Structure 1
Amino acid sequence: MHLNILERRKSTIFFRKQKKFSVIRRTRKWNCKLGKKILYVTNYYLDDVVKQRHSEPYISQAGQNKGRYIMDMLRTGGNDVIVWSNAWTNSHSLKFYRGFQSEEDSSLYYSDIVGIPGLNAYVCLASSKRFLRKLVKKQKIDVIIFYNMRLENSKLALYAKKHFKIPIILQYEDGLTNDANIRGLKKLVYQNMEQEVLGQLDGAFLVNSKIQVPCPSVVIRGAIRDREKSRTEKCLPDTDHIPKLLFSSTLDRQRGIGVLLEALAYTKEDFILTITGRGEAEQQVRAQKDRRIRFLGYLDYAAYKKELEETDICLNVQLAHHEFGNFSFPSKIFEYLSAGKLVISSDVADTKEALGDTLILYGEDDPRQLAAAIDRAIAIQKNEKERQIYQNKIAAVVEQNTIDKVAERVNRLLEKVANSHSKHIQGE
């Protein structure tokens, strides 16, 4: 909802006495020898901002999950993380909304926005600069990590480096200039932004090993929280019920929804295919006559987790032969594996290199090959011996990709960036 003037003032004063103390307590909690004070600039948000802005979630559930585990991973490594989010939540209201500190997470702050596409980026950027100036007056920020090449995020990072000498690390994925949904002038703006940012980076988190950047980097395809590790031991489902398949993603061409729908014509197996998400292909999904399809639209996190828990086989059908795939990795695969699920996947990016025969892979973005993979997964699901073999493979992957192990790799990069930055400052 809209805030009145007094409420706005209260919600936007960053260092109110009680809030300041809560931030200090978080610092002590996560303090360690290598711990850094990090400002994480991203699009992550919680339900409080969706309600305030009378809108619906804009970032996909997979994107939300990615932001959540990046924060968890940084904190697991002993770092103190403040999150700054533009919280652009698909509001086209033409109204102005004041930023505020989240009541659900005291480390999360939202920028001002205006419900006008295009203009909103500049409103977010102005709000972000004000926030940063207040923040650096109160505490030292060791590094800024910013999500992707989004205009408002990138401009803030460059501003921080120029005016406050803060090193910047890019969380790089999706290759926005290769996203089929970004066209025309907007694409040109992002192309120019990429060139400017790549020349200023101190480090990068890369989503796959094929991406090349001119700075130190670490590959973070995904991570598994320790509390999820035990799930793989509990997921040996009953073989007598109808198999349940899950596809949860943005419904557009590059995520492969068209290939999946076409593949259904080539498999006669009996199963329930639950599809969740929203996007340009939503009406195409709704128009399907195949009775095996169960379409739920966009789900909140709790509903999504419930669907995942009840699923036997998960699908990632992102197009491998699409430029977008070269700059992405379906990190949701790690969430599926951590839940002990069989996973069918295209051979997008470096999926085969990273996870090998843990997945049931198919090639060439071919509906017939995908149908064969579905049949194969169902056969494994019904065969106790084969299912156990895959469960053992899944358990090994889970063990190798726990969040604490990813945090160790990230901390090494943070330390390298800090040392390099310190030498650079001393040399000036």
Structure 2
Amino acid sequence: MCNALDDLTRSERGISTDSPAATRKIILMCKALRLAGVRPIILSMGRGGSIAEWKSFSSVVRRIDGLPLLYIPFTSIPILSQLLSALALIYVVCKLRLRGVNHLIFYNRTDAFLPSLLVSSVLKYKNILDLEDGEVRRGGRLLSCGFARMITYAYDVLCDRALLACSALKQATSIRPILCYYGAIFKFHQKIKLDSKVITVLMSGTLSNETGASLLIDTIRMMASSKAPWLKNVRFEITGKGESLDEFVKLARTTVAPEVVVHGRLTDLDYADVLNRADVGVSLKLNDGPYANTTFPSKVIEYAAAGLLIVTTDISDVRTIFGDGALYLNQDNPLELIRHLEFIAANPNEVFMIAKTGQQAVQEICSPKLVGKKLQQFIFGAV
């Protein structure tokens, strides 16, 4: 149970606030489970913001790589929208139970899932929480904080097992048993890419201060002001959405060296093209930021599988997975990032070996057959 969106449905419904990374992780999880003999169904609310007018959409079934993706009805009319989603999820949960389905995975502690979580418990489902994001404490009203604690408590009581995005999240739930799940990768580029003439550095996903967008913007500005000769062979490509997107656009207009190319939000196919021509992937969620130990930067898995060298902040379980197969920022400092990029430009052979080590680490941990078997055993109670 999730809010995954394929490109066609997202376009038809005019939604721009979804998470492509979350959708990809859900789909790849289900594909891995299918290899282990499980027949998963993806149940999605198909919701999102930024819809300019009131619209309604009926339920629809899509298929992605052969996986059934069931969208419940959706309307953008306030209040009615939440009520319709809650009732539709309950209806599908009841119908699936009659057809013999007895395990449900809830993607994150989403409040819209609470009614169906209660019903699924009554119907004797085995409920599994897929906890991708821990609580990020910000200044807020006492009432909203109390509601958040109530949601946490409900999931902890009503779920039987939990998949965690990183090991630190075991402190965020009392559910046991738990299993850390970092993703499944079906396609690996055998040739590690590093063009010694032009180095393409990719940043993708949510573009905000917390995800390191401001750090990268400051880095590019410092690089441009230095006018070092090696910068003529560096290109930054930016994809995704967020509060920092406009700042990247302004930077692209005023910066000659290094070159900055801003794509914004892309379809899956267009993003794949950008990913495949990149050499370096940067994942810069701040070491001192709210996401350092509340989630896992799944982009590092995606980048490594595509053959990119990873430059990342030293957060979450990244170093545990990659070891010497990545370059790390120990501080949220533009100068440290510049030093890494200069090292990459000057040492292609050494960089090749680092990237190869990182990709091998991901192959060992995120092999679809291995992941599928682990997930199957965990979900159905063999561990």
Task: Determine whether 1:264 maps to 2:220.
Answer: yes
Counterpart for residue 284 of structure 1: 247
CA distance in 2, matches of 1:338, 1:181: 38
Counterpart for residue 44 of structure 2: 85
CA distance in 1, matches of 2:88, 2:360: 45
Please point out which of 352, 362, 368 is paired with 1:403: 368
Q: How does 1:290-309 map to 2 (within 5 A)?
A: 290-291=255-256, 292-309=259-276
Aligned residue for 1:109, secondary structure, equals: strand
Q: How does 1:377-416 map to 2 (within 5 A)?
A: 377-380=344-347, 383-384=348-349, 386-401=350-365, 402-416=367-381
CA distance in 2, matches of 1:95, 1:366: 45
Counterpart for residue 95 of structure 1: 55
Task: Determine whether 1:165 maps to 2:121.
Answer: no
Residue 180 of structure 1 deviates from its aligned partner by 6.2
CA distance in 2, matches of 1:280, 1:71: 31
CA distance in 2, matches of 1:147, 1:191: 17
Q: How does 1:276-425 map to 2 (within 5 A)?
A: 276-288=239-251, 289-291=254-256, 292-380=259-347, 383-384=348-349, 386-401=350-365, 402-416=367-381
Residue 415 of structure 1 deviates from its aligned partner by 2.9
Q: How does 1:233-244 map to 2 (within 5 A)?
A: 233-239=190-196, 241-244=197-200
Name structure 2 gaps, 5 residues minimum: none
The 8 Å contact of residues 42 and 67 in structure 2, kept in 1 or not, is answered as no
CA distance in 2, matches of 1:370, 1:155: 46
Deviates more, 1:265-274 or 1:306-315: 265-274
CA distance in 2, matches of 1:347, 1:237: 23
Residue 290 of structure 1 deviates from its aligned partner by 2.4
Counterpart for residue 180 of structure 2: 219
Would the alpha carbon gap of residues 160 and 83 (structure 1) be closer, same or farther in structure 2, given more than 3 Å must change? Answer: same
Counterpart for residue 83 of structure 2: 122
CA distance in 2, matches of 1:389, 1:42: 38
| Structure with the higher fraction of residues in helix conformation | 1
The 8 Å contact of residues 48 and 102 in structure 1, kept in 2 or not, is answered as no
Residue 99 of structure 1 deviates from its aligned partner by 1.7
1:5-63 CA distance string (max 9 Å, x none): xxxxxxxxxxxxxxxxxxxxxxxxxxxxxxxxxxxx1111223322442x034323222
Residue 118 of structure 1 deviates from its aligned partner by 5.8
Letter in 1 for 2:236: L
Would the alpha carbon gap of residues 207 and 283 (structure 1) be closer, same or farther in structure 2, given more than 3 Å must change? Answer: same
The 8 Å contact of residues 44 and 67 in structure 1, kept in 2 or not, is answered as yes
Deviates more, 1:185-194 or 1:199-208: 185-194
Counterpart for residue 158 of structure 2: 200
Structure 1 length as normaliser, TM-score?
0.79
Task: Determine whether 1:66 maps to 2:25.
Answer: yes
The 8 Å contact of residues 203 and 216 in structure 1, kept in 2 or not, is answered as yes
The 8 Å contact of residues 240 and 263 in structure 2, kept in 1 or not, is answered as yes
The 8 Å contact of residues 108 and 131 in structure 2, kept in 1 or not, is answered as yes
CA distance in 1, matches of 2:283, 2:114: 29
Would the alpha carbon gap of residues 183 and 264 (structure 1) be closer, same or farther in structure 2, given more than 3 Å must change? Answer: farther
Name structure 1 gaps, 5 residues minimum: 1-40, 420-428
Counterpart for residue 44 of structure 1: 4
Letter in 2 for 1:379: A
Q: Paired residues, what number?
A: 366
Residue 187 of structure 1 deviates from its aligned partner by 5.7
1:61-112 CA distance string (max 9 Å, x none): 2222212212112212211101110011333522222222226666111112
1:398-418 CA distance string (max 9 Å, x none): 33121211222222212327x
CA distance in 2, matches of 1:51, 1:57: 8
The 8 Å contact of residues 321 and 348 in structure 1, kept in 2 or not, is answered as no
CA distance in 2, matches of 1:179, 1:86: 26
Residue 192 of structure 1 deviates from its aligned partner by 2.2
Residue 377 of structure 1 deviates from its aligned partner by 2.7
Would the alpha carbon gap of residues 287 and 352 (structure 1) be closer, same or farther in structure 2, given more than 3 Å must change? Answer: same
Counterpart for residue 19 of structure 1: none
Residue 198 of structure 1 deviates from its aligned partner by 1.3
CA distance in 1, matches of 2:16, 2:137: 20
